[in-house]
Amino acid sequence: MAKEKKIVIKEAILSNNCPECFNQNLKLIFYQKHTFNAFYRKVTNMVEHEIKCKKCHSIIYPVSWTPDIERVFEYYDKLVEPDRSSIHFTSLFYILFLVGIALVAAAVYAHLEGII
């Protein structure tokens, strides 16, 4: 079973007013999704964002954004540079791959020699 984890790639403090409590403590966070498994580690190109108020701890959804928040979000969205999408195999994958190749080679050798 693959485990998913969101890695923070950029954080920014915004000076815009919170639509809930009208305080000027907003935090914009960009996440990138990473998938972990026993055989591989995969970096996806999916980037998610979240705006949170630091005082009332509410998440500000795009429906309640003001035009100022939208402008600031678009600015920071252009600045975000996510990691390249890639896949890295673990040593367990390579060990099982080599054992599989060795078993196939042994079976072919045994068949050619008439042992099987």
Closest by CA to 80, choosing from 8, 6, 5, 4, is: 8
DSSP class of residue 81? -
Q: Where are the domains of the chain?
A: 3-90
Closest by CA to 77, choosing from 57, 52, 54, 48, is: 48
* Model pLDDT for residues 31-83, shown as the tens digit of each residue: 999 999 999 999 998 999 999 988 888 888 889 888 888 999 999 999 998 88
Residue 86 to residue 89: CA distance in whole angstroms:
10
Q: What is the pLDDT of residue 51?
A: 92
3-14 and 59-60 strand pairing: unpaired
* Model pLDDT for residues 19-28, shown as the tens digit of each residue: 888 888 899 9
Q: What is the pLDDT of residue 15?
A: 87
20: tokens are 């809930």
Q: Work out the percent of the chain whose per-residue pLDDT is above 90.
A: 56
Closest by CA to 59, choosing from 13, 24, 27, is: 27
Q: What is the pLDDT of residue 19?
A: 83
Q: What is the mean pLDDT of the chain?
A: 90
